[in-house]
Amino acid sequence: MRRVNRDQLTALAVLAPSLVLLAIFVYGFIARTAYTSLTDWGRDPSQALAANPVIRYIGFANYKDLFTGFLDARFRQDLVSALFFTVFFLAGCLLIGLLLALMLDRNPRGEGFFRTVFLFPMSLSFIVTGTIWAWMLQPSGGVNRLSPLVGLPAGQFEWLTSRTSIWQFDWNRLPLVTALVVAAVLVWVAVTAYREGARTRGHVAVACAALLALWALTGGVTVKLLPYPEPHGFNLAFVGIILAAVWQMAGYTMALYLAGLRGIPEELREAARVDGASERQVYTRVIFPLLAPITLSAMIILGHISLKIFDLVFAMAGPDNTQTDVPALLMYITAFRGNQFAKGAAIGVVLLVMVAAVIVPYLASTFRREART
Partner 1 sequence: MTTTSTSPAVRARRGFHTRRWLLTLLTYLITAVFLFPLAWMILAAFKTEAQAFATPPVVLFTPTLDNFHRAWGAYLPALTNSLVAALGSTLLAFVLGLPAAFALAVYPTRRAQGVLTWMLSTKFMPAVGVIVPLFLLFRNLHLLDTLPGLILMYTTMNLPLVVWMMHSYLTEIPAAIYEAAKVDGASVGQEFFRIALPLSMPGISATALLALIFAWNEVFFALNLTSSAAAPLSVFIGQFKTSQGLFWAQLSAAATLTVLPVLVFGWIAQRQLIRGLSFGAVK
Tell me which residues in 219-258 interact with partner 1 (CB under 8 A). Answer: 247, 251-252, 255-256
Q: Which stretch binds partner 1 (CB under 8 A): 64-72, 220-228, 268-276, 307-315?
A: 307-315
Size of the site for partner 1 (CB under 8 A): 95
CB count within 10 Å of CB 85 equals 24
Q: Hey, how many other C-beta atoms are within 10 angstroms of the C-beta on 201?
A: 15
Q: Candidates 68-76, 85-93, 142-150, 216-224: pick the segment binding partner 1 (CB under 8 A).
A: 142-150
Best CA proximity match to 37, nearest among 308, 338, 307, 350: 350
Cβ contact 76:173 at 8 Å: no
Stretch of 79-87, 130-138, 220-228, 283-291 contacting partner 1, by CB under 8 A:
130-138
Helix (H) or strand (E) holding 1: none
| Angstrom distance (rounded) from CA 356 to CA 3 | 40
What is the three-class DSSP state of 51? coil
Give the DSSP letter of residue 208: H
- Tell me which of 47, 311, 321, 322 binds partner 1, using CB under 8 A: 311
**Paired strand residues for 57:** 39
Should residue 276 be labelled a site residue for partner 1 when binding is judged by CB under 8 A? no
Whole-angstrom CA distances from 66 to 194, 321, 349 are 40, 19, 12
Shortest CB 62 distance to partner 1, Å: 12
- Tell me which H or E stretch contains 106: helix 73-106
Residues in region 82-121 near partner 1 by CB under 8 A? 100, 103-104, 106-107, 109-110, 114-121
- In the bound state with partner 1, the residue whose beta carbon lies nearer, of 138 and 172, is 138
Name which of residues 162 to 221 contact partner 1 (CB under 8 A): none
Residues 323-352 that bind partner 1 (CB under 8 A): 327-328, 331-332, 335-336, 341, 344-345, 347-349, 351-352
How near is the Cβ of 200 to partner 1 at its closest, in Å? 28
| Residue 45 touches partner 1, criterion: CB under 8 A | no
